[in-house]
Structure 1
Amino acid sequence: QPSGCTLGARLQNGGNCSEVSNLPAVLFNTHLNASIDGLKSEMPGSHAVFASTCQIFSEIIDDPTSY
């Protein structure tokens, strides 16, 4: 779960996730995804998968009835 969406973070932020606390993870994931894309182009035939668990958990927290 995103660090800004822990129970403690949400209690301190009126029940909402703290975007400021989540920003480092979002930036890291953005750069990691770009690095993986770069490796794929440098290594034809290789396969790499990137899944942002932060995004997945954020969607579940934002709209739990869809899950």
Structure 2
Amino acid sequence: MRNDTLPVSGPGKGSTMKNWRYIGMHAVAAATFIFLLQRYGLNNTLESSLLWALTFGGCAAGLAYAQSKR
């Protein structure tokens, strides 16, 4: 049985890496979705699509971070 968390003291501190991985995956998924929607679904420019992807990825990371702290 493999344990991916490091042994640390305090409640809830052992799954910190798992939370950051979750936050990162959430941000990448949201950014990818909005980029593909903007670029190919709505035929926007590359610059506009990247800006929207960055914005939505940042918002998704913030929401995932807030949810992981509950």
Compute the TM-score of the two structures, normalised by the length of structure 1: 0.39
Compute the TM-score of the two structures, normalised by the length of structure 2: 0.38
- Structure having the higher Rg: 2
